[in-house]
């Protein structure tokens, strides 16, 4: 039970941070549109995104809500029933779940996601904290899979 509670607290904390930053962006960043953080490197720019990454599937809110919900149910299952005792995998699932929930909240309540981090040194989409959580979580999940393959390889060769 403590395992489940710890995971829920971690996910809730990350979702709370995401939602607090988005609330700040709506209240303080939207009126000024952009704030330079590091000139020519990064700025905070208020953008509302009706799609997913790079505005793909823009305007397909019902599909995005249903697909995201299904994916998050799978990640929640993997977190609570398949990652016990596997810390890196557990962290990966927590990050993906929290980021997905953070953006899903926006999509369900507002029909669009608040984005605000704009890298200026490359031509890239504006994104948010939840997007970072999902990307880092997926990268960590891939690392976990690769490490498991490396661990299993010597035993398979015997």
Please report the pLDDT score of residue 59 as a whole number.
77
pTM of the predicted structure, to 2 decimals:
0.92
pLDDT at 91: 98
Mapping DSSP onto H, E and C, the string for the chain reads: CHHHHHHHHHHHHHHHHHHHHHHHHHHHHHHHCEEEEECCCEEEEEEEECCCHHHCCCCCHHHHHHHHHHHHHHHHHHHHHHCCCCHHHHHHHHHHHHHHHHHHHHHHHHCCEEEEEEECCCCCCCECHHHHHHHHHHHHHHHHHHHHHHHHHHHHHC
Tens of pLDDT, residue by residue over 106-151, are 999 999 999 999 999 999 999 999 999 999 999 999 999 999 988 8
Catalytic positions, written as ranges: 115, 131
Who wins on pLDDT, 20 or 56?
20
Q: pLDDT tens-digit profile of 92-107?
A: 999 999 999 999 999 9
pLDDT band at 44 (very low <50, low <70, confident <90, very high): very high
pLDDT of residue 154: 66
> What is the pLDDT at residue 77?
97
Q: Express each pLDDT in 54-103 by its tens digit.
A: 677 787 889 999 999 999 999 999 999 999 999 999 999 999 999 999 99
């Amino acid at each position: 039970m403590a395992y489940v509670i710890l995971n829920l607290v971690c996910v809730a904390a990350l979702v709370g941070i995401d939602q607090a930053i988005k609330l700040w962006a709506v209240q303080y960043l939207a009126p000024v549109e952009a704030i330079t953080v590091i000139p020519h490197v990064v700025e905070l720019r208020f953008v509302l995104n009706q799609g997913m990454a790079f505005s793909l599937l823009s305007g397909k809110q019902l599909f995005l809500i249903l697909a995201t919900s299904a994916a998050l149910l799978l990640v929640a299952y993997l977190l609570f029933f398949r990652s016990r005792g596997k810390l890196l995998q557990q962290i990966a699932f927590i990050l993906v779940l929290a980021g997905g929930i953070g953006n899903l909240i926006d999509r369900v309540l507002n029909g669009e996601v608040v984005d605000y981090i704009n890298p200026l040194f490359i031509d890239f989409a504006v994104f948010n904290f939840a997007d970072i959580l999902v990307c880092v979580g997926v990268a960590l999940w891939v690392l976990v899979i690769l490490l498991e393959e490396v661990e299993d390889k010597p035993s398979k060769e015997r």
